[in-house]
Structure 1
């Protein structure tokens, strides 16, 4: 079971977007470079896009989300309004994720 999954509300704890919040929109697994997340509205970069009339793509400078390292984000705990660590607990025969600080189940 992954500690952070798609749809989790996270807060950036390091880098140029420190303190910003967003939802995980994609998880990128890479054994060599390390796992990364695409977080909505975080780590925006400008990309020069060439026009492609066949695909109907307009050219110009576009802003898109770049992947951010797993170590630079923490799950957001709405109870404490801070980033938190994730732990695991077996509840009714099922493994569930919990916030380390409050011991509450994530997603309830």
Structure 2
């Protein structure tokens, strides 16, 4: 499978679906299934039984996975595409900004 362009800790914006327009930090990335979990996006309601970890049980709200194609990396306040460039002998991620210049992300 191709290299994932979104990593854990990146700030992303949702571009499709019920949560379109929301921004958040990536909590986890599922490379095999092409999914990401973004904080406060695609909130799910889960009913839990009482257990040793959670004495009361009850209703828990947690984030659900979003397809990687439905999010874009946020660079300096703008949603941008991400690509790769060779910097000497290292492969680095770059933000493809509108003016044609590619800016190194990390």
For the residues of structure 2 that align with 1:72 and 1:60, how far apart are their CA atoms? 31
Aligned to 1:62: 60
Q: Considering only aligned residues, what root-mean-square deviation do their CA atoms show, in Å?
A: 1.5
Q: Secondary structure at the match of 2:103?
A: coil
TM-score, normalised by the number of residues in structure 1:
0.84
Match of 1:76 among 66, 74, 77: 74
Q: Secondary structure at the match of 1:3?
A: coil
**8 Å Cα contact 2:11-2:74 kept in structure 1:** yes
TM-score, normalised by the number of residues in structure 2:
0.85
Could you list the runs of 5+ residues in structure 2 that have no partner in the other structure?
Answer: none
Q: Secondary structure at the match of 1:41?
A: coil
Q: How many residues align?
A: 101
